[in-house]
Structure 1
Amino acid sequence: MLENSKISSRQAVFLMVTMIFATVILSVPAITVKHARQDAWISVGLATVAGLLIARLVTTLGLRFPERTLFEYPAEILGRWPGKLVGFFYIIWFLHINAGVIREYGEFLVTAFRPAPPLIVFNLMAVAIAAYTVRNGLEVFTRANEIFFPLTMGLIVITSIFASGETDIQRLLPVADVDAVSIFKGAMVPLAWFGEIVTIALVIPYLNRPRESHRAAVTSVLISGVVFMLVVANAIGIFGPDLIEAMVFPGLNKYRIVNLANFLGRFEALAMTAWVTAGFVKISIFYWATLLGVSQVLELKDYRSLVLPVGGVLMAMSMLDHPSALHLQHFEAQVFPFFALTFEAAIPLLLLITALVRGKGERLG
């Protein structure tokens, strides 16, 4: 292994939930509601069930190679060069996903702050902070996330409670009025986000108890799914499906209607702090994953020399991958689910089947 970090299964759960929730709460509610209307919460429930299956798949595969990551064991399963090619594709995937995360957070901050600095300023700030974070290794930003996690999730729960006074249950009715195809279409996008639990395949070798990775992965998806389902139902009850469908960031609008007390001012300032912190954690996780992948595929001894070059690539991709916010929204709604699930479910499934047929790996969990 490239570093000696060790984290607990609880820290892994906090990390995975933060990673999923950091962006799923931004634009996904609007995309899901567009398909499933007032039944969007049902779509989220279906996505959660499917996400649990992905969590089980990924950890079953990972526990056959408990001392190796997703970048390493494909070579043992498929052979040196085919395996390295798979690892290379995962590096590209993590780069593209992270560039999209950076761009989305930049667009979110530009929308939230008026007047706002140029988009490139927010993107550069995100990459710079993440670069500093990943140089210190997995254990450091995992412990930092352990501190901020209760704040982030607490604000989500508190917001839903205080916003409940604006909820009209009639906006959630009639239940199951949308056809099954639309509900399944609505489930595809949140499933792609829940499928990011595939990242735990990089963390298993660094768990102090690898056998607990099954439980950690399942718990992470379950928490993310249940809370997100409540968030979506709450948002529909407040705004109704027509209004949510027209919003870019429904969560931000929900925070804006919450005003706790005069001395606290608008509650959205606290929410922004939590969201931005969660966003930096997610960017750091995917940044670290890319560095780890390049180092392991190229068989380097250390990834710290790659921090700045990879940061430069991320910065460029965050500005060039999507020429506009509209393009990013289209990508998330139409392309991302298929792009993501290929790497989150299809490839791991093929690797597991091949490993079983060829008798590769061990049975640990």
Structure 2
Amino acid sequence: MLEQGRIGTRQLSILIFMMVVGDMMLIYPSVITSYAKQDAWICALVGVPLGMALMLMFLKLSSLYPEENLIQILRSILGFWPGNVVSVFYLFFFAIGASTHTREVGDFLTSQIFQYTPVRVIILMFVITIGWGLYHGLETIGRSSELLMPILIVFILVLAFCLLPQVDPSNVKPASDVGVVPILQGILISIIYPVGELIPIMMIIPYTLKQAHRTRDVLVAAGLGNLLLAILVTISLLVLGAFLTQHNIYASFVLSQKINIGGFFERIEAIMASSWLISTYVKAMVYLYAFTVGCAELFKLKQYRILILPVSLLIFGLSNLVSPNLTFIVITVVPYWIDWDTTLSIILPGLLLLVHMFKKRWKTKSSG
């Protein structure tokens, strides 16, 4: 196998939780509210069980070929050449995903905190960090995520509790007044963005130890991550209202700026930024890992570490090319990214399960 390290079920679950929260912690309230308006909190809550169902489909596909990663599964189901062609699409998605997350970090830090720092400096530092994590292997990625997750959870809970005095229930009225289509779009977003982007985890599942309750723990992790995002959406709507949530791309960051308890507990937005950086770092690192291991598998290499330097340089270049600025991401990338996620995270995995089922039945009939 390309990866000699192994992680446990708990580390896999934590990685999934961190990926669900990921970059969504900042931009998710704005994106879902732009479709469902004041009903975004309903869509976010409905998306929790549906997202767990999507995660179950990923696990089902992986369980059919327990020793194989996504690239190997594609070859096993579709055949060598068709499987390789589809693999290229997934690898391209992993590369663009890692580049986009890196670019998001650069745009956020240079627009909100380090206004006079060139964005390429931030991107270079971030790429070096995720490349360094990738070099140390899957076990190190899993252990570091264990250490970093409590910081993320504590801050989100602090954010929610400290904003309770500013909650205004009238901000979510009238309920169910935006129409059926916007609500359905909001529900699709609540499934696709948090959980649909977990498809790179199929490159990690084969290297997870076979422990009891793995399916249960993974589903709970995906559900809790999505529920945490739903809480952020609800708090954002109750405090800022639908209009301000929709038009503040970093709604969670704006919320952290509004915290003021007794005139001494305030200005904690730097902690918010740190928490978002942690979750986005883990997500970008998993995407880069999936791309690197996938390339090594595609070209039948004996190890993937020799690809880390060229892949990191590629991500650095793509991060500067994928988007010229934040406005481009909001206007151009976000509306079409959902179609890409839907194709690679729902349609293709569903078709793979159908092809596997038909092949199994065909073999049964032929042998009978």
TM over 0.5: yes
Deviates more, 1:90-99 or 1:177-186: 177-186
Name the CA distance, whole Å, in 1 between partners of 2:22 and 2:116. Answer: 21
2:95 is the counterpart of 1:95: yes
- RMSD, matched Cα: 1.8
Identity of aligned residues (%): 25
1:300 match: 301
Deviations 1:15-56 (A, max 9, x none): 111112121122221121122111101111233233222111
Secondary structure in 1 aligned to 2:71? Answer: coil
CA distance in 1, matches of 2:220, 2:106: 30
Determine if contact 2:20/2:226 at 8 Å carries over to the other structure.
Answer: no
CA contact (8 A) 2:259 2:266 kept: no
Asked if residue 358 in structure 1 is aligned to residue 359 in structure 2, the reply is: yes
Residues 264-273 or 63-72, more deviating: 264-273
Note if contact 1:27-1:249 (Cα within 8 Å) is conserved in structure 2.
Answer: yes
SS of 2:267 mapped into structure 1: coil
Moved more, 255-264 or 175-184: 255-264
Partner of 2:365: none
Match of 1:120 in 2: 120
Contact 1:24–1:190, Cα closer than 8 Å, also in 2:
no
Report if the CA contact (8 A) 1:59-1:213 is conserved.
no
Q: Which residue of 2 aligns with 1:288?
A: 289
In 1, distance between residues paired with 2:139 and 2:44?
Answer: 31
Matched residues, number: 360
Deviations 1:326-354 (A, max 9, x none): 11112443101110121111111111111
**Further displaced range: 155-164 or 191-200:** 191-200
The equivalent residue for 2:175 is: 175
Once residues 99 and 236 of structure 1 are traced to their aligned partners in structure 2, the CA distance between those partners, rounded to angstroms, is 30
| CA positional deviation for 1:226 | 1.3
8 Å contact from structure 2 (residues 259, 265) kept in 1: no
- Structure 1's 212 and 330: CA in aligned 2 closer, same or farther, altered over 3 A? farther
Structure 2: distance between partners of 1:180 and 1:221: 26
Structure 2 length-normalised TM: 0.93
5 Å matches for 1:177-326? 177-193=177-193, 194-209=195-210, 212-259=213-260, 266-326=267-327
2:17–2:221 contact (8 Å) kept in structure 1: yes
Question: Is structure 2 residue 62 aligned with structure 1 residue 48?
Answer: no
Query: What is the CA distance between 1:200 and its match in structure 2?
Result: 2.6
SS at match of 2:295: helix
Q: Could you tell me how far apart the structure 2 residues matched to 1:11 and 1:72 are?
A: 23
Structure 1 residue 213 displacement after superposition: 4.2
Matched-pair contact (CA < 8 Å) for 1:14–1:145:
yes
- CA displacement 1:215-238 (0-9 Å, x = unmatched): 233212211221111110101110
Q: Secondary structure of the equivalent of 1:175?
A: coil
CA-CA distance at 1:188 after TM superposition: 2.8
For residue 80 of structure 1, report the CA deviation from its aligned partner.
1.0
Tell me if structure 2 keeps the 8 A contact 1:77–1:351: yes
Deviations 1:42-78 (A, max 9, x none): 1112332332221111110100100000011111111
Change (3 A) 1:216 1:92: farther
Distance 1:264 1:163, change over 3 A: closer
SS in 2 for 1:27: helix
Residue type at the aligned position of 1:268: E
User: Any unmatched runs of 5+ in structure 2?
Assistant: 362-368
Distance 2:10 2:333 in 1: 30
Match of 2:364 in 1: none
The CA distance in 1 between the partners of 2:265 and 2:305, in whole Å, is: 41
Contact 2:8 2:211 in 1 (8 A): no
Amino acid at match of 1:292: V
Give yes or no for the alignment of 1:330 onto 2:331. Answer: yes
Q: Is the 8 A contact 2:160 2:235 kept in 1?
A: yes
Tell me if the contact between 1:35 and 1:182 (Cα under 8 Å) persists in the aligned partners. yes
1:129-168 C-alpha deviation (Å, 9 max, x unpaired)? 0001100111101101101101101100111100111111
Q: Structure 1 length as normaliser, TM-score?
A: 0.94
Structure 1 spans left out of the alignment, 5+ residues: 361-365
Farther off after superposition, 110-119 or 278-287: 110-119
